[in-house]
Amino acid sequence: MPACNTNCIEKPLSKGFKKLGLVVGKYPWVFLLLPLVLSGGLGVGFYFLGEREANDIEDQFTPTNGQAKTEREKVKTYFPHSDEFSQLRLYTEGTYASLIVFSSSNKDLLSKELFKKVIDLNNKVRSIRTELERSTYADLCANTNGKCASNAILDIVSNAATTIDYPFHRGVFLGSTIGGVTLKPNSKAIQSAEALRLFYFLKDAKTEMDRSENGAWLQAFIKTFSEEIPVDMISVSHFTSISREEEFERKFRDSIPLFSITYVLAINIAIASCIRWDCVRNKVWVALAGVLSAGLAVLTSFGLLLFCGMPFSMPVASAPFLILGIGVDDMFIMISCWQRTRVHDKVEDRMAETYKEAAVSITITTLTNVLAFYIGLLTPFRSVQSFCMYTGTAILFCYIYNITFFGACLALNGRRERSNKHWLTFRKVETPNEYKKSNACSVGGAYDPQTGAEVGMAIHVFFRKYYGPFLTNIWTKVFVVFLYAGYLAGSIYGCLQLEEGIQLKNLAPDESYVASYYDNEDRYFSSYGPFVMLVIKDENFQYWEKSARENLNVCLKEFESSDMVAKNMTISWLDSYEQYGASTGLDLSDKSVFMANLDKFLAVSGFYPDVVIHSRKILASRLFIPSINISTAIDEKNMLNFFRDTASTCGQNMTLSNPADLLVYHPAFIYFDQYAVIVSNTIQNIVVATAVMLVISLLLIPNPLCSLWVAFAIASVIVGVAGFMALWDVNLDSISMINLVICIGFSVDFSAHISYAFVSSGKKTPNEKAIDALDNLGYPIIQGAVSTVAGVVVLSAAKSYIFRTFFKIMFLVILFGAAHGLVFIPVFLTFFGVCGISSGVEDEKPSRTHVDTPGVQPMAINNTTQQLGQRPGQSQIINNTSFNRRLPCQPARFQTSANFSSHKYLEDLDCP
C-alpha cells in the first residue's frame, strides 16, 4: 500500500539541495571565502558591545508590561517625592546604602558594649568620602527637617531610659530595623536583639553630576566594607542600591575563563569524535571547519545585531554554547551522509548526494529552532527577548554557514581524499590494496568494496547488529513502555512541585556580599514584610461621610483578615484625623468642617504627603498596610495576588453611593510581577512553538503521523525537563524560561532526525526501519549529545545561579532528548507500521531472477542493489519485472533512490 506523505514539498526541497551540493562541490572556494568576508565585516559590530550591554535588573528581569510599573506611574503622578524624605513613602527603592550588623557572640546587640560598636560603624559610614574627597554622606544625604535622615533605632536606643517596645515604639516602626528580637514575658518590650539594620539614603539626583556623585559615594561605601573590618563580637553585611547591577556585571567578567574552558572542551570532543585511524579518511580538518563554522555564525549574527542596536543582556553570554551544540550536531549529520556516498564518485556528485540526504533534515531542525526562539520574542521579559533574538539569528547563520562554508570545507577535504593524500602531510599515500607492509602512516583510503562507501565504524556495527535488534525485541519494547510511564509520572510529579519567580540574590555570585546580605535579611528580618500603599484614587470618594469611612474600615478589615497582614498596624491619615477631630471637638461629618481643618491637621501630623488636595478637593490619598511573614517566592506571589484581588473586589463591594477606586503598590511589586506572567507566558511560548514545530514537521517529514510523533517528543521532553528541574531546585523564572525555549529546539533536533530517517528508510518492516534509522543516525546523535554536554559540564562548578541553571537544564534537555531519539521514539514508531515509505511488493517474496549486467556477476535479485553500490541504510525497492531484461548502463553510475520503477531506475542511471 503506498504511503501517505507530503512529498510535494520534501521532494522538490531535496532536489534543490542536491543541486546546491553540486554547485558547492564544483566551486568550494567561493563558498569558503564569502562567509569569511561577511563574518569579518559584520564582526566589527562587537565594537559596540560595551554600549549595548544591558544589566539593569529591573529592566531585564521584570515584565515590560507589568501592572506594578503602570501603578508606579500613577503613584508618582499623585505623590511625587518631596524635599522631606520618608522611606515609607518612596515609590522607588531609592538611592541608598545599608548595613546589617549582627552579634557573632550570641550576645544582646542592644547591650552597651555591643551597641557602642554599632555607633562606631555608623560614624565610619558618615566619614566615608568619594575618591576625589569632594563629598561626604552629610553632603549627599536625604534630608528630613533640614538634617540627614537618621536611623531612628540609633536615637531610640541611645536615649532610651526605660524599655523599647516592638514593633512600634512611640509611633516609630522598628520591625524592619531590629531583628532576632526576644520580647519580655507578657510584654511588647524588647528583652534582646540579635541584629540591627541601618539605612543611609541619598537625596534624589536631579542632574547627571548628582548621579555621578551619588554613585561615587556608593562605590566608596562598597570599597570600605568589602575590606575586612576588624570589629570584635559583631559581624557586618553591606549592600547598596547599585550592588545588584555591579555584581551582575562582575559575574559575567569572572565567568569568561570558564567559558573558554568549556568551549575548548566541547571543541576537542567534537574533533576527537571525528578522528579516523585511516590517514586518508580522517575527518579532523572537517571537524575543525564545523566548529569554526559555528564560531563564524556567532561572530556574524552577534555583530549584525550589535550594529542594529539590539541590547545585549547577560544570559546571551551562554548562547555560544548552544550554537556550538547545534552547529556540531548538523556537522555530524552531514559527515555521516558524506561517509555513505561512493568514494570513487566525483566530489561534486558526492556533495550532491550528501546535501540531498542531510540538508532536508537539518533544514527541519533549523526552522524549528529559529522559530522557537523568535516566538520567544513574544515574552514580556527583555532578557528573554534579547537571548532569543541573538540565539535565533545565530542559529540561522549557523545553518547558512553549514551549507556554504562547512560544505565547501567538506568538498575540499573530499578532493584530498579522492587524491588519496594524507590528512596531515597532504602527501599521496598508497591504498591498502597497493601497499603490502603494515605502516599506517603510509597507507590509507580504504573503502567497502561492496558498497563503494567508506568503511563503517564499529559504533555503526553496534547499532545495526546489536542495539537495534535488542531495542526492537518485543520484551525490550514492553520494558521501554514501562520506563516511559515511570519517566512521565516523575515528570508530572515534579511539575506539581515547580516554584515560580527568581530570587534577586540569585542574580549575584554565590560568594558575593549581596548574597550574604540577602541571607542575613531573610534570617533576621523576614517577620515583617513591606508596608503596602493602599491608594484611594477616586476623587469622588466622600471622606467626610460616616458610611464611606465605615466602608473603608470594612475594606481594611478584609486586608487584615489575611495571615499575611499585621493586625491593627495600618498607618492611616484618616484614622488619625478622626482621632484629632474627636480630641478637638470637630464634626468631621460636615464637609466644610472636614475640608477647612484638613490642611492644618496634615501639617502638624506629618501626613501631608499622603493626601492630594486641589481646589479644596481631595484627588487621591493613601494608607499603608503592613505585611508579615513574607519570606519565600510563594509568599511573595500569594501576597501580590491577595492585595490586588482584595483591592479590586473591596472597592466594588462598597455601597453604590460610595464606591472606591483602590490601588495597591509597593516598589517590590515591580519584581513580584513576574509571578503574574511567568507561567502563562511560558505555556504560551511552548504551545505556540510546538504548534509551529508540528506544522513544519507536517510539511517536511513525508508522513503526517510521524510529524505528530515529533510534536509528541517536544511536549514529552518539555514536561520532563520542567518536572525534573523542579526536583533539582530550579524555579520557573525568566532564566529557566529561556532554557525551556532551548528545550524545544533540542528535542526537535533528536526526534526529527530519527523520525525523518525512519520515514525515509526503504526497509520493509517497522522494526527494520527503526534499526536502519539508528544505524544511520545513532552515532551522530551521541556525538551531538556528548559534545554539547561536555561544553556545559564545567558550568556546573560556576558560582552563579544563571550558569548553574543553564547547565542543569541543558543537561536535562540533552539527556531526555537523546533518550527520546535513541530509545522512546524508535520504539513508539514501530507501533505504527504505516509511518514510512512502503513498497507495492512488500508482501512478495524476493525473486531469484538473475541479472546479467555488464560488470555485475549473476546473483539473486535480493542482493542486486548491494552489488550496484547501494549505500548502507538505503534499501532499494525494485519491481521484479525491471530486472527481467538486461540493463545497458554501467552500474558505477547508479544513483540511490528509495522507491522507483524500471523507468526511474534507467533515469537514475543517466541512460538515454
Is the backbone peptide bond immediately before 167 cis, with ω within 30 degrees of 0? yes
Q: Could you give the CA distance from residue 382 to residue 378 in angstroms, rounded to a whole number?
A: 10
Q: Could you give the CA distance from residue 672 to residue 874 in angstroms, rounded to a whole number?
A: 57
* Pairwise pLDDT comparison (492 vs 702), residue with the higher score: 492
Which one, of 217, 198, 15, lies nearest residue 121 by Cα? 198
* Pairwise pLDDT comparison (264 vs 720), residue with the higher score: 720
Q: Give pLDDT tens digits for 90-115.
A: 999 999 999 999 988 778 888 888 88
Q: Give pLDDT tens digits for 426-444.
A: 888 877 765 444 455 667 7
Residues 6+ apart with CB under 8 A from 351: 21, 22, 24, 25, 338, 407, 410, 411, 414
Looking at the structure, tell me whether residues 313 and 193 fall in a common domain: no
Which pLDDT belongs to residue 833? 61
- Label residue 236 by pLDDT band (50, 70, 90): very high
Q: Which amino acid is at 847?
A: S
Which pLDDT belongs to residue 859? 37
- Label residue 884 by pLDDT band (50, 70, 90): very low
Residue 355 lies in a domain: yes
Looking at the structure, tell me whether residues 182 and 273 fall in a common domain: no
Residue 73 clears pLDDT 90, i.e. is over it? yes
Average pLDDT of 650-658? Answer: 61
* Pairwise pLDDT comparison (763 vs 501), residue with the higher score: 763
Looking at the structure, tell me whether residues 162 and 41 fall in a common domain: no
* Pairwise pLDDT comparison (859 vs 693), residue with the higher score: 693
Q: Could you give the CA distance from residue 24 to residue 358 in angstroms, rounded to a whole number?
A: 14
Residue 890 lies in a domain: no
Q: How remote is the C-alpha of 152 from its chain's centroid?
A: 43
Looking at the structure, tell me whether residues 532 and 489 fall in a common domain: no
Q: Give pLDDT tens digits for 306-358.
A: 999 999 988 888 788 778 877 888 888 899 889 889 998 999 999 999 998 88
Residue 157 clears pLDDT 90, i.e. is over it? no
Q: How remote is the C-alpha of 192 from its chain's centroid?
A: 46
Residue 810 clears pLDDT 80, i.e. is over it? yes
Which pLDDT belongs to residue 195? 93
644, 666, 688 — which closes off a domain?
A: 666
Average pLDDT of 801-821? Answer: 87
Average pLDDT of 582-586? Answer: 90
832, 866, 895 — which closes off a domain?
A: 832
Scan for cell 541571607, then name that residue: 519
Please, are residues 751 and 828 in contact by the beta-carbon 8 Å criterion?
Answer: no
Q: Could you give the CA distance from residue 162 to residue 158 in angstroms, rounded to a whole number?
A: 11
Residue 439 lies in a domain: no
Scan for cell 554599632, then name that residue: 118
Which one, of 399, 339, 343, lies nearest residue 369 by Cα? 399
CA separation (Å) from 555 to 540, 642, 648, 778? 17, 13, 11, 65
Average pLDDT of 855-878? Answer: 38
Looking at the structure, tell me whether residues 277 and 158 fall in a common domain: no
DSSP letter, residue 425: T
Which pLDDT belongs to residue 498? 84
Strand, helix or coil for residue 792: helix
- Label residue 625 by pLDDT band (50, 70, 90): very high
Question: What's phi and psi for 849, nearest 5 deg?
Answer: -60, 135
Which pLDDT belongs to residue 441? 64
Residue 2 lies in a domain: no
Please, are residues 898 and 2 in contact by the beta-carbon 8 Å criterion?
Answer: no
Residues 6+ apart with CB under 8 A from 817: 713, 717, 746, 747, 749, 750, 751, 785
Please, are residues 738 and 686 in contact by the beta-carbon 8 Å criterion?
Answer: no
- Label residue 790 by pLDDT band (50, 70, 90): confident
Which pLDDT belongs to residue 7? 56
Q: How remote is the C-alpha of 773 from its chain's centroid?
A: 31
Task: Let me know if 558 is exposed, middle or buried by CB neighbors in 10 A (0-12, 13-18, 19+).
Answer: middle
**Which residues lie across from 627 on neighbouring strands?**
565
- pTM of the entire predicted model: 0.79
Q: Which domain holds residue 120?
A: 94-226
Residue 733 clears pLDDT 90, i.e. is over it? no
Lowest mean pLDDT among 144-158, 711-725, 834-848: 834-848
Which one, of 173, 241, 178, 171, lies nearest residue 211 by Cα? 241
Q: How remote is the C-alpha of 796 from its chain's centroid?
A: 16
Looking at the structure, tell me whether residues 684 and 819 fall in a common domain: yes
Please, are residues 731 and 399 in contact by the beta-carbon 8 Å criterion?
Answer: no
Q: Could you give the CA distance from residue 358 to residue 777 in angstroms, rounded to a whole number?
A: 11
CA separation (Å) from 893 to 416, 451, 481, 507, 651? 22, 13, 45, 62, 84
DSSP letter, residue 568: T
Which one, of 66, 132, 187, 193, lies nearest residue 668 by Cα? 66
Which pLDDT belongs to residue 695? 80
Number of domains in the chain: 3
Residue 902 clears pLDDT 60, i.e. is over it? no
Which one, of 362, 365, 392, lies nearest residue 379 by Cα? 392
Residues 6+ apart with CB under 8 A from 297: 323, 327, 394, 395, 397, 398, 400, 401
Which pLDDT belongs to residue 674? 84
Looking at the structure, tell me whether residues 312 and 381 fall in a common domain: yes
Residue 403 clears pLDDT 90, i.e. is over it? yes
**Which residues lie across from 101 on neighbouring strands?**
196, 236
Dihedral over alpha carbons 555, 560, 566, 572 (to 10 degrees): 20
Mean pLDDT of the chain: 81
- Label residue 861 by pLDDT band (50, 70, 90): very low
Strand, helix or coil for residue 829: helix
Residue 505 lies in a domain: no
CA separation (Å) from 781 to 290, 333, 472, 520, 741? 16, 8, 19, 47, 20
- Label residue 831 by pLDDT band (50, 70, 90): confident
DSSP letter, residue 48: G
Please, are residues 165 and 239 in contact by the beta-carbon 8 Å criterion?
Answer: no
Residue 398 lies in a domain: yes
Which pLDDT belongs to residue 651? 67
Residue 438 lies in a domain: no
Which pLDDT belongs to residue 848? 35
Please, are residues 705 and 650 in contact by the beta-carbon 8 Å criterion?
Answer: no
Work out the angle at residue 528's Cα, subtended by the Cα atoms of residues 524 and 532, and round it to the nearest 5 degrees: 145
Residue 912 clears pLDDT 70, i.e. is over it? no
Q: To the nearest 5 percent, what fractions of the chain are helix, strand and coil? A: 60, 10, 30
Please, are residues 751 and 364 in contact by the beta-carbon 8 Å criterion?
Answer: no
666, 683, 699 — which closes off a domain?
A: 666
Residues 6+ apart with CB under 8 A from 599: 613
Which pLDDT belongs to residue 835? 56
**Which residues lie across from 190 on neighbouring strands?**
183
Which pLDDT belongs to residue 422? 86
Task: Let me know if 903 is exposed, middle or buried by CB neighbors in 10 A (0-12, 13-18, 19+).
Answer: exposed
Average pLDDT of 403-409? Answer: 95
Looking at the structure, tell me whether residues 819 and 747 fall in a common domain: yes
Strand, helix or coil for residue 247: helix
Which pLDDT belongs to residue 199? 95
Which pLDDT belongs to residue 448? 79
Looking at the structure, tell me whether residues 193 and 253 fall in a common domain: no
Residue 114 lies in a domain: yes
Residues 6+ apart with CB under 8 A from 398: 293, 294, 297, 323, 326, 327, 330, 366
Residue 866 clears pLDDT 60, i.e. is over it? no
Which pLDDT belongs to residue 273? 81
Looking at the structure, tell me whether residues 297 and 183 fall in a common domain: no
Looking at the structure, tell me whether residues 589 and 701 fall in a common domain: no
Q: Which amino acid is at 576?
A: S
Strand, helix or coil for residue 191: strand
CA separation (Å) from 582 to 315, 554, 575, 578? 59, 21, 11, 6
- Label residue 133 by pLDDT band (50, 70, 90): low
Residue 842 clears pLDDT 80, i.e. is over it? no
Residues 6+ apart with CB under 8 A from 199: 87, 96, 97, 98, 151, 177
Q: Could you give the CA distance from residue 755 to residue 212 in angstroms, rounded to a whole number?
A: 59
Scan for cell 561544553, then name that residue: 791
Dihedral over alpha carbons 34, 352, 337, 787 (to 10 degrees): 10
Helices (H), 437-588: 458-461, 468-471, 474-496, 513-524, 546-560, 573-584
CA separation (Å) from 350 to 345, 399, 429, 867, 892? 6, 20, 22, 18, 13
Q: Enter the C-alpha cell of residue 557.
A: 478589615
Q: Give pLDDT tens digits for 247-302.
A: 877 776 666 677 677 778 777 887 888 888 888 888 899 999 998 999 999 999 99
Looking at the structure, tell me whether residues 272 and 418 fall in a common domain: yes
Residue 81 clears pLDDT 60, i.e. is over it? yes
